Amino acid sequence: QLQLQESGSGLVKPSQTLSLTCAVSGGSISSGAYSWSWIRQPPGKGLEWIGYIYHSGTTYYNPSLKSRVTISVDRSKNQFSLKLNSVTAADTAVYYCARRLISRFDHWGQGTLVTVSS
């Protein structure tokens, strides 16, 4: 059964870079049918799509975050990563990784809370 697990720093200082990794198990990240996504949710608020990456390395980002976001893939480790630079308190959120199948996100990680604070 496919599982996704986020990991990374739970506390980031303002202006620094948020870094998270999503480990994929029970399936190959190199499957061409899927892409691999990051979605976030500020405390008590709704969901915001951040971006996704194909196993080829092709990426698409939310225009509102594009200047600060990098998503990368490591096929040898079956994982993908998120970097968000120049963070502020507004970037405090639960960050989810998810598998995208065509139009929908059909498998999600459990999420990890990242707090931006000095």
Partner 1 sequence: DIQMTQSPSSLSASVGDRVTITCQASQDISNYLNWYQQKPGKAPKLLIYDASNLESGVPSRFSGGGSGTDFTFTISSLQPEDTATYYCQQYDNLPLFTFGPGTKVDIK
Interface with partner 1 (CB under 8 A): 46-49, 52, 60, 62-63, 96, 98, 103-106, 108-111
Give yes or no for a contact between 94 and 41, defined as CB atoms under 8 angstroms apart: yes
Give the residue with the Cβ less far from partner 1, 16 or 21: 21
Reference 22, options 93, 62, 71; nearest CA is 71
Reference 16, options 93, 90, 87, 117; nearest CA is 87
Minimum CB separation from partner 1 for residue 13, in Å? Answer: 26
Minimum CB separation from partner 1 for residue 54, in Å? Answer: 10
Rounded CA separation 75/52 (Å): 15
């199948």: which residue's tokens?
Answer: 101
Minimum CB separation from partner 1 for residue 118, in Å? Answer: 27
Give the residue with the Cβ less far from partner 1, 47 or 89: 47
